[in-house]
Chain A
Amino acid sequence: MASLLVLPIVTPLGTAVLALFLWRHRRAQQAVSLLGAAALLAWAVALLLSVSRDGIQATAIGNWPAPFGITLVADLLSAMMVTLAAIVGAAVAVYSVATIDARRESFGYHPIFHVLLAGVCGAFLTGDLFNLYVWFEVLLISSFVLMGLGGERGQLEGSVKYVTLNLLSSALFLAAVGVLYGTVGTLNMADLAVALQDPRVDSRLTLAIALLLLVAFGIKAAMFPVFAWLPASYHTPPAAVAAVFAGLLTKVGVYALVRVFTLIFTHDTGVTHGLILVLSGLTMVSGVLGAAAQGEFRRVLSFHIISQIGYMLMGLGLYTRLALAGTVFYLTHHIIVKTNLFLVSGIVHRLKGTLDLASLGGLYRTRPILALLFLVPALSLAGLPPLSGFWAKLLLVQAGLEAESYSIVVVALVVSLLTLYSMTKLWTEAFWKAAPDAAEAPLSAGEWRGLLLPVAALALLTVVLGLGVEPVLALSLRAAEQLLNPAEYIRVVLGGRP
């Protein structure tokens, strides 16, 4: 079904346009935003079911056949990522209605939020390298605006670093696309995979381009040593914005890395994937150490994004069926859990007016349900069974042991211990210890429900994903098989063309 491939891009774009037309009507914008998010979720699930049933699907935009026109492709990885984006989109849309202030809403918060979702979904679905660049631009410009929207000092300071480093990344990406086109004369990713098989293409040039893309996507994914933009900015915007960023943006970078390093650059895996494996270890360690040095709720969470990006890259670096399944499952788990933790941080901020750990406390006594809803994603993040994070960790560790890459396994296990340490720090400081200032902002029961609903839904999803892990795990394994054997992907995109 070709339309299913287009709908996850068109729906949020249409929602954004509709919301723009309702510029002066906040309530109507909210309603449109919620409906749009619900529709996106419905299409995404339909797409996932369809891809899971019928295999990889592709559609040529404007009916210009690949590789001449732009092709949208959904394999299992893409479909899963679109579904996750839709889940995060729905949760954050609900949360935004409950938390985003009228000032931001009257300056286009809702439409830009949906443009962001369109950009993310577009990036996951496109089968064309330059088109991927375009979707990167779309999601970046909307994230720039959301990051700075509100104009608070901290926001602007964070935005400057965010914008500069991400633009640098885009420039490198574009340069790589240009050089690649100059070398083999095509932009369609499946066609690139075929073209680079040609023995006349110099292998060292291929490697150089691969490394350039590794740096470009590495910046987006917040990989060591080019992650600085993330901790510099993620603690500044409103919780809803930070949550959607934390859940999705770096994962687009990871997705791009997975895509190009399973489909296009698989000639010299000893060098490229070996390098990715080393970088994954360094990313894990530097992220978790960064978190241990922080004394603010969201800064701790931000650094943990980096260390978990390391886990996802570990699977790519190991490059086996189990390891890639680990990456896919880790992505799934992480997107849900991380978004949720940022949403929880927003509730904490709403209650206590600060996220400075030294000034927090007492929430276990006063808000036991919130405490439970923090504990579920936090323990999942630290990889404790039977939550989703445990299975994610288990897959990667098992894959590492099977590949006899013992040092990366040791790093992964130690980092998971340190992650647990960080989560207990948040727990101890914000929930267990007595609050220096017992005052809490009053919340009406309705407001409280609005805040808790998305958090509870995502926490439930984490538990379900942990206890009923098999379906998603089996899906991840199938996705990994598709990634490891790209012949089917290429066949679907290029048709019978050699």
Chain B
Amino acid sequence: MLYAVLAGFAGAGIAPLAHRALGRASGWVLAAIPLALTLYFASFLPAVSAGEVIRWSRAWVPSLGVVLSFELDGLGLIFALLISGIGTLIVVYAGGYLAGDPKLGRLYALLLAFMASMLGLVLSANLILLFVFWELTSITSYLLIGHKHESEKARKAALQALLVTVTGGLALLAGLLLLGIAGDSFDLPLLVARRDLIAAHPLYPAIVLLVAAGAFTKSAQMPLHFWLPGAMEAPTPVSAYLHSATMVKAGVFLLARLAPLLAGSVLWYGLLVGFGTLTMVVSAFLATQQTDLKRVLAYTTVSALGTLTMLIGLGTPAALKAAVVLVGAHALYKAALFMVAGIVDHKTGTRDILRLSGLRTALPITTVGAGLAALSAGGLVPFSGFLAKETTYAALIEFPWLLAASVLANAFGMLVALVVGWRIFTGESQVIPDDPGPVPVALWQGPLLLGIAGLLLGVFGWMGEGIVAHAASDMAGQRVPVKLALWQGFEFEALLALGLSVFTLLLGLAFYKAHGLLLRLATSLDWLYQRGPYRLFDLGLAAFVSLAKWQTQILQHGYLRYYILTVVVTLLPIGVLLAAPGSPVWPVTFGPVGLFETALVAVVLASTAFVMSTDSRMAAVAGLGGVGYGVALLYLSYGAPDLALTQFAIETLSVVIFVLVLYRLPEFRVLTTRAQRLRDAVIATSAGAVMTLLVLAAQSQSGASRVSGFFAEQSVPAAMGRNVVNVILVDFRSLDTLGEVVVLVVAALGVFALLKLRPEGEAH
């Protein structure tokens, strides 16, 4: 099964080459990959319908409990078939739709990679594995939406979709990790077995919230839906595949997958039913407010996703069964309608429903496909859409408010179906400017086949009872009986559902009559729509960038002196720590201090004061020299003549070099204000105080050195040297000396290069 998932990635690897080699036929050839996958998955239908679950697993990251573990159950198989089946048609369609586009090869690659990711997602039986595929769908979606990347709108839409879905993805990651902690495993079947443990775990509410956040962003639940209509900037094959049939259902799939683990609490129920219902109704209405064919369809997609979320939230056997049927039916008709929109756009150069009419003569076969899909979308007998609507209504009978909301949403859906499947094809034939000629087979095959499939699945729905029952059972965690028939008999529920279907139809027709009115409403509500959540997203992004600029100006202002100041200030807490009562510094005790030392300290202090107060550079350098000599003499008086000698040499050299350099500099000027100097003095003094406190504290502890005794003992017998300091330098710690020698060599090279190597064009 791993190979089935990976096949798409392999296909992605060869797609650009295949496209270059095969040219126009590439779509038909590359479609062999998803087709083979469809057949492969279809071969499991009998077994899975009979209740078998096919498992495959291999170790991947055992240290983290991540297993390459795949599971083909009812739910997974339905999704896998939709993904690979529709994928087949889409690859062919893309070949026709983008014929001649030099980047078509890359589009194939991304489509196939996306398909593989999506298959991986629906087949994963390990939480982390599932998340890996989840994120892969987000990133491939980003690259696909941005296919027309030279258009700024496309880039923006791609970014928006990415940021929203990845934000959700991160919430999901946290949720899945917490789930792993609560259930002590990432293995889904094992977690299902531990569901009671998880439900009782204190992390349960956080898990539900985080998982729902992930699912809602991906499946475009309001108010996080706005990226989906924006994503219509993608080429139509992408919209048809990712943003109607498959990727947007990933969120719903996730909820379905985790329902047996997480369902059963008020929180889960409230979140899913609440947001689902809101999304279902509001976006169905918003669909009527659009005139761009693809945006109309996008909003009805959002509405269907809302319905699915609501049904999964309800969690009754009837609701879960309805969810399964709706997933299938919706994928078929919505993908078909998107492809129709693409053909119309391709042919006429516009997607504005107000400017389209009478296309049946120009697009005869497409009209048939569109008609079939629209009938299914409108929920008419005997299409699969009808089954979906009937089962939904039957599931909602106990919940009158939800039922009413669903009827309303479906009526709006009916209106859209009429617009897309009827209005633009009937009426007066329009003159098509720049007619690109007859529509190729590659384009019309998709809607036609999907339309027919929608019809056949309606008529022969009973054949799928087994698989639907198992899919619903997978979600419910218990056996769900399923009967799928166009005629449900004379029971009250069945008759009520049928009656509601008729009512929906009539209401939809009434809305269709009022379409003009609804569009006028859209114009007058435009101010409101301009303030939708997508606007909030833009403002948020802008605010974030301003915040970033503001903080960067504060932290990275470019003034070296303030950088130094920051470092010094970070040291001050150490001083506070050591000065506070109870510190080893207190009480400070001094040994006897001689007259000579006192005098030296006075010289050092006086020189320091002189350096600070003089306004001549030369004098300041001389003063520094005084400080250095004073310190060196102190070394001498405390019995370190070699140290003192080194210090004398360095001080002398420094002064000489300083004088040589300073001679060439401009005049000394005071650029700071009095207040600044005062501040600097305070900070410098406190830095000195910190160091003093540290030394005092170390002094108070001073035990014997653990190593100097060894040096003194071994210097002569083992290292053959009488001068211990020298022996330390060249023998005991010779590696230090080696390093310092290297430092000197490199420094010399650096000075040489600084003096000699000037940028080209600059004088030496």
Interface residues of A (CB under 8 A from B): 13, 61-62, 64, 67-70, 103-104, 107-108, 111-112, 115, 118-119, 122, 126, 130-131, 134-135, 137-138, 141-142, 144-145, 148-153, 160-161, 164-165, 168-169, 172, 175, 179-187, 191, 195, 200-202, 204-205, 207-209, 211-212, 215, 218-219, 225-226, 228-229, 231-232, 286, 289-294, 364-365, 368, 379, 384-386, 390-391, 394-395, 397-398, 401-402, 409, 413-414, 416-418, 420-421, 424, 428, 432-434, 469-470, 473-474, 477
Of the candidates A68, A141, A291, A470, the one whose C-beta lies within 8 Å of that of B746 is: A141
CB of A225, distance to nearest CB on chain B (Å):
6
A200 to B702, CA, bound (A): 10
CB of B569, distance to nearest CB on chain A (Å):
9
* 4 A-B pairs with the lowest CB-CB distances in the bound complex, closest first: A185-B705, A145-B750, A134-B739, A292-B548
Instruction: Tell me the residues in window 119-139 of chain B with beta carbons closer than 8 Å to chain A beta carbons.
Output: 128, 131-132, 135-136, 139
Q: Which residues of B contact A292 (CB under 8 A)?
A: 544-545, 548
Q: Which residues of B contact A191 (CB under 8 A)?
A: 706
Of the candidates B574, B700, B711, the one whose C-beta lies within 8 Å of that of A208 is: B574
A379 to B757, CA, bound (A): 39
Q: Which residues of A contact B710 (CB under 8 A)?
A: 68
Instruction: Tell me the residues in window 719-764 of chain B with beta carbons closer than 8 Å to chain A beta carbons.
Output: 731-736, 739-740, 742-743, 746-747, 749-750, 752-754, 756-760, 762
Q: Is the CB of A186 within 8 A of B757?
A: no
Q: Is the CB of B698 within 8 A of A179?
A: yes
Q: Is the CB of B564 within 8 A of A401?
A: no
In the complex with contacts A70-B735, A424-B162, A470-B63, A138-B743 CB distance below 8 A: yes
A126 to B702, CA, bound (A): 26
Q: Is the CB of B757 within 8 A of A104?
A: yes
Q: Is the CB of A413 within 8 A of B749?
A: no
* B203 to chain A: closest residue by CB: A401
Interface segment out of the listed B188-196, B554-562, B668-676: B554-562
Q: Is the CB of B757 within 8 A of A226?
A: no
Is B430 at the interface (CB under 8 A from chain A)? Answer: no
Is B578 at the interface (CB under 8 A from chain A)? Answer: yes
Q: Is the CB of B571 within 8 A of A215?
A: yes
Of the candidates B63, B159, B558, B740, the one whose C-beta lies within 8 Å of that of A232 is: B558
Of the candidates B577, B582, B691, B759, the one whose C-beta lies within 8 Å of that of A152 is: B759
Of the candidates B162, B548, B566, B749, the one whose C-beta lies within 8 Å of that of A226 is: B566
CB of B166, distance to nearest CB on chain A (Å):
6
Q: Which residues of A contact B584 (CB under 8 A)?
A: 202, 204-205
A contact patch SS: helix
CB of B659, distance to nearest CB on chain A (Å):
22
CB of A382, distance to nearest CB on chain B (Å):
9
* A401 to chain B: closest residue by CB: B177
14 further A-B contacts with Cβ under 8 Å, apart from A70-B736, A195-B706, A290-B556, are A138-B739, A164-B563, A183-B701, A204-B582, A208-B694, A209-B694, A211-B577, A215-B574, A229-B563, A290-B552, A385-B131, A413-B173, A417-B163, A474-B63
A-B contact pairs, 20 of them (CB 8 A): A68-B707, A69-B733, A108-B753, A119-B742, A134-B740, A138-B746, A148-B750, A148-B753, A165-B563, A169-B567, A182-B699, A186-B705, A195-B706, A209-B694, A290-B556, A292-B548, A424-B142, A434-B150, A473-B61, A474-B63
Most chain B CB atoms below 10 A, which of A64, A107, A175, A409: A64
CB of B546, distance to nearest CB on chain A (Å):
9
In the complex with contacts A134-B735, A417-B166, A118-B742 CB distance below 8 A: yes
Is B570 at the interface (CB under 8 A from chain A)? Answer: yes
Q: Which residues of A contact B736 (CB under 8 A)?
A: 70, 130-131, 134
CB of B568, distance to nearest CB on chain A (Å):
8
Q: Which residues of A contact B758 (CB under 8 A)?
A: 151
Q: Which residues of B contact A126 (CB under 8 A)?
A: 735
A232 to B558, CA, bound (A): 7
A135 to B549, CA, bound (A): 37
Of the candidates A165, A201, A413, the one whose C-beta lies within 8 Å of that of B567 is: A165
Of the candidates B136, B697, B733, the one whose C-beta lies within 8 Å of that of A202 is: B697
Is B573 at the interface (CB under 8 A from chain A)? Answer: yes
CB of A118, distance to nearest CB on chain B (Å):
7
Q: Is the CB of B63 within 8 A of A420?
A: no
In the complex with contacts A164-B560, A186-B705, A191-B706, A131-B739 CB distance below 8 A: yes
Q: Which residues of A contact B106 (CB under 8 A)?
A: 368
Interface residues of B (CB under 8 A from A): 59-64, 103, 106, 128, 131-132, 135-136, 139, 142, 146, 149-150, 152, 155, 159, 162-163, 166-167, 170-171, 173-174, 177-178, 180-181, 544-545, 547-549, 551-552, 555-556, 558, 560, 563-564, 566-567, 570-571, 573-574, 577-578, 582-584, 691, 694-695, 697-708, 710-711, 714, 731-736, 739-740, 742-743, 746-747, 749-750, 752-754, 756-760, 762
In the complex with contacts A64-B732, A104-B757, A138-B739, A175-B691 CB distance below 8 A: yes
A225 to B563, CA, bound (A): 9
In the complex with contacts A108-B749, A212-B694, A69-B732 CB distance below 8 A: yes
A364 to B110, CA, bound (A): 14
Q: Which residues of B contact A130 (CB under 8 A)?
A: 733, 736
Q: Is the CB of B735 within 8 A of A61?
A: yes
In the complex with contacts A164-B564, A202-B700, A420-B707 CB distance below 8 A: no
In the complex with contacts A107-B756, A191-B706, A394-B64, A142-B746 CB distance below 8 A: yes
* A134 to chain B: closest residue by CB: B739
Q: Is the CB of A433 within 8 A of B152?
A: yes
CB of A106, distance to nearest CB on chain B (Å):
8
Of the candidates B152, B570, B707, B714, the one whose C-beta lies within 8 Å of that of A215 is: B570
A183 to B697, CA, bound (A): 8
Of the candidates B699, B701, B739, the one whose C-beta lies within 8 Å of that of A135 is: B739
Of the candidates A64, A168, A290, the one whose C-beta lies within 8 Å of that of B564 is: A168
A395 to B563, CA, bound (A): 34
Q: Is the CB of A115 within 8 A of B732?
A: no
A414 to B170, CA, bound (A): 8
Q: Which residues of B contact A434 (CB under 8 A)?
A: 150
In the complex with contacts A212-B571, A228-B556, A428-B159, A175-B694 CB distance below 8 A: yes
Q: Which residues of B contact A409 (CB under 8 A)?
A: 174
In the complex with contacts A228-B556, A286-B555, A290-B556, A397-B750 CB distance below 8 A: no
A114 to B750, CA, bound (A): 14
Q: Is the CB of A397 within 8 A of B166?
A: no
CB of B416, distance to nearest CB on chain A (Å):
33
CB of B163, distance to nearest CB on chain A (Å):
7
In the complex with contacts A137-B740, A145-B750, A229-B563, A470-B701 CB distance below 8 A: no
In the complex with contacts A228-B555, A469-B61, A211-B132 CB distance below 8 A: no
Q: Is the CB of A148 within 8 A of B63?
A: no
* B583 to chain A: closest residue by CB: A204
Of the candidates A107, A289, A395, A397, the one whose C-beta lies within 8 Å of that of B552 is: A289
Q: Is the CB of A432 within 8 A of B149?
A: yes
CB of B591, distance to nearest CB on chain A (Å):
15
Q: Which residues of A contact B566 (CB under 8 A)?
A: 225-226, 228
A56 to B551, CA, bound (A): 44
Q: Which residues of B contact A289 (CB under 8 A)?
A: 547-548, 551-552
Q: Which residues of B contact A428 (CB under 8 A)?
A: 149, 155, 159
Q: Which residues of B contact A185 (CB under 8 A)?
A: 703-708
CB of A338, distance to nearest CB on chain B (Å):
19
* B59 to chain A: closest residue by CB: A470
* B134 to chain A: closest residue by CB: A385
Q: Which residues of B contact A183 (CB under 8 A)?
A: 697-698, 701-703
CB of B587, distance to nearest CB on chain A (Å):
14
Q: Is the CB of A204 within 8 A of B577?
A: yes
Q: Which residues of A contact B699 (CB under 8 A)?
A: 182
Q: Is the CB of B705 within 8 A of A161?
A: no
Q: Is the CB of B739 within 8 A of A225?
A: no
CB of B681, distance to nearest CB on chain A (Å):
18
* A205 to chain B: closest residue by CB: B697
Q: Which residues of B contact A67 (CB under 8 A)?
A: 706-707
In the complex with contacts A107-B752, A231-B556, A401-B174, A204-B578 CB distance below 8 A: yes
